[in-house]
Structure formats: structure tokens, C-alpha cells
Amino acid sequence: MRRFTTTEGQTQAEAMQEEAMSAGCASLSHCRMREQVRVRGVISQVTLNPRGVNRWLEAILDDGSGEVTLIWMGRRIVRGIEPGRKLEVEGRLTLFEGRPTIYNPKYSLLNL
């Protein structure tokens, strides 16, 4: 019965969460600020931020339970970081402009 009442997006989100948990990653919905985290998800958006002299590459990672902003300071390009790409990241969870953020995360590109 549940299969008929859930949307395709919910089903995909649940599958992403199960895959991340089986790989030993945390769910963003259970992570706390200032905590060292390892999460896995799909990049939904990539933006180059050209504010002032400090430039950085910004990506939004969705793990099915929430989103985290990834910021690579001083970088214009990070090879492999593109929308739709599966990624596993590790770093300290902070807040930037009210959004959960990880600065200069360690990352692994995953097979599509």
C-alpha cells in the first residue's frame, strides 16, 4: 500500500538515504552543527561566487534528508563537481548565511 502513496521523489530520497547508511555515512537530518560529518548524496547545483577578491566554488549536495552547501575557497573549478554527480564528502558542518555548510570538504566522486 505504501508503494502507491509515495511519490517518485520520496522513493529516490529513501533509496539515497539507505545507500548512504550502508556506506557508513550520516544522514544530514541527524547531523549537528560544528560536528565532523561524512555524508553522501547528489549535487543539485553548482555556482561560482565572485564576491570581491575572494572567489569560491559552491555546490549544493542533497542526501535525500536535507541539503548542505559545499564551498571550496579560492577555487573556480573542481574537476568532477557538476550537477547530477554522486559524491561522498567529509568535513565540519557549520552555518553560512543560515544554511548548513562544509568548507573545503574532503570528497570522493562516486559512480553514476
Task: Tell me the pTM.
Answer: 0.85
Residue 24 neighbours by CB under 8 Å, 6+ apart: 38
Which 8-state DSSP code applies to residue 24? T
Q: What is the pLDDT of residues 68-101, one digit of tens each?
A: 999 999 888 899 999 999 999 999 999 999 999 9
Q: Which domain holds residue 68?
A: 2-109
Query: Which CATH number goes with the domain that contains 51?
Result: 2.40.50.140
- The per-residue pLDDT for range 21-47, each reduced to its tens digit, is 888 899 999 999 999 999 999 999 999
Residue 4 has pLDDT above 60, yes or no: no
pLDDT of residue 5: 60
Band (pLDDT 50/70/90 cuts) for residue 10 is confident
Q: What is the model's pLDDT at position 80?
A: 93
HSE value, Cβ hemisphere, 13 Å, CA-based, for 26? 16
Per-residue CA distances from 40 to 2, 17, 53, 56, 76 (Å) = 25, 8, 31, 21, 23
How many independent structural domains does the chain possess?
1
